[in-house]
A and B are shown apart, each in its own frame.
Chain A
Amino acid sequence: EIVLTQSPGTLSLSPGDRATLSCRASQSVSSNYIAWYQQTPGQAPSLLIYGASSRATGIPDRFTGSASGTDFTLTISRLEPEDFAVYYCQQYGSSPYTFGQGTKLEIK
């Protein structure tokens, strides 16, 4: 199965900053089938990005996904207070689908 490794584990930034979250796959992900989710405490995850770079419905354009080989990146251009949460990447290019361990984005 494909292992996804997210870094950093915790990212401490301030509102207005730019956040860069990384997700590295242990092998090639078919068709760059990578999704990114945001999870706030006590809530279900919500889809931000699919296909490595396509924003889900209603997701603001400050969220950008990109891919380079087996490295995938989620960039949040200008952090809003509601963006501080845990972010997970997921690969769905091959079964079993797998998730990264998560990056916690916290207020500095």
Chain B
Amino acid sequence: QLQLQESGPGLVKPSETLSLTCNVSGGFISSSSHYWGWIRQPPGKGLEWIGSIYYSGITYYNPSLKSRITISVDTSKKQFSLRLGSVTAADTATYYCGRDTFGAYDYWGQGIRVTVSS
């Protein structure tokens, strides 16, 4: 059974960089049929797609965040990562990693709550 698990700091200071990692187990991160992506959810609000990456490193990002984000993959470690720079309070959210199957997210991590505060 495929499982995804987010990890990273739960508190980030304003203007700093948020860095999260998603570990993939029980399946192949190098699958030719899937991308791997990030979605976030501010407290009490809806979902926002951040971006996705293919095992080869091909990425596509939400234009609203593109200038601040980098998604990378390390197939040897079976993990992919998110970096979001110049964070503000508006970036406070639960961040989910997931498997992107032609755009629909069929597996999700449990989520990690990240608060931006000094």
Q: A45's contact among B47, B48, B101, by CB below 8 Å, is which?
A: B47
For residues 37 through 60 of chain A, which have their beta carbon under 8 Å from a beta carbon of chain B? 37, 43-47, 50-51, 56-57
Looking at A57, A92, A102, the one whose CB has the most chain B CB atoms below 10 A away is A92
Of all chain A residues, which has the CB nearest B47?
Answer: A99
- Where chain A touches its partner, the secondary structure class is loop
Interface string of B46-63 (1 = CB under 8 A from A): 111100000000001011
How many whole Å from A21's CB to the nearest CB in chain B?
A: 14
Interface string of B72-105 (1 = CB under 8 A from A): 0000000000000000000000001010011111
Contact of B33 with A by CB under 8 A = no
**Contacts A44-B96, A97-B49, A98-B49 given; does A92 touch B104 at CB 8 Å:** yes
Kindly list 12 other residue pairs between chains A and B, CB separation below 8 angstroms, not including A96-B62, A100-B46. A33-B102, A33-B104, A45-B108, A46-B108, A50-B104, A56-B104, A88-B46, A88-B47, A90-B105, A92-B104, A98-B49, A99-B46
